[in-house]
Amino acid sequence: MKKIEAIIKPFKMDDVREALAEIGITGMTVTEVKGFGRQKGHTELYRGAEYVVDFLPKIKIELIVSADKLEQCLDTIIEAAHTGKIGDGKIFVSDVSKVIRIRTGEADEEAL
């Protein structure tokens, strides 16, 4: 099993969720986060004063998938989240050794 963590632009969230649903992925955790990479921050004007916004709003999607669905999920996220502009985001993949559904006690692949 694999854990996918995708950091994407907020306005791409619905596109990514719908694209994942089309390939049968229904469970995910979504968090509003802030951060920056090469995109850096930008300056804004507030009540006549200029200030730097270092952390930009992003969406973090976390999902656990079986290893055989990994590449399909990655391709789907990349296609749905891509704008071609700086700040499109990143995807991190890690191994998951155990999953347990609390309600039923099902474990691993059955818990997905």
Domain ranges within the chain, ordered by starting residue: 2-111
Residue 28's alpha-carbon distances to 24, 39, 105, in angstroms, are 12, 26, 19
Structure confidence at residue 44 as a pLDDT band (50, 70, 90) = low
- Cβ atoms of 18 and 26 within 8 Å: the answer is no
- Asked if residue 63 has pLDDT above 80, the reply is yes
Q: pTM above 0.95? A: no
For 2-111, which CATH class? alpha beta
- Asked if residue 26 has pLDDT above 90, the reply is no
Average pLDDT across the chain, whole number: 90
Residues 6+ apart with CB under 8 A from 36: 54, 55, 56
Q: H or E stretch including 8?
A: strand 2-8
- Cβ atoms of 53 and 42 within 8 Å: the answer is yes
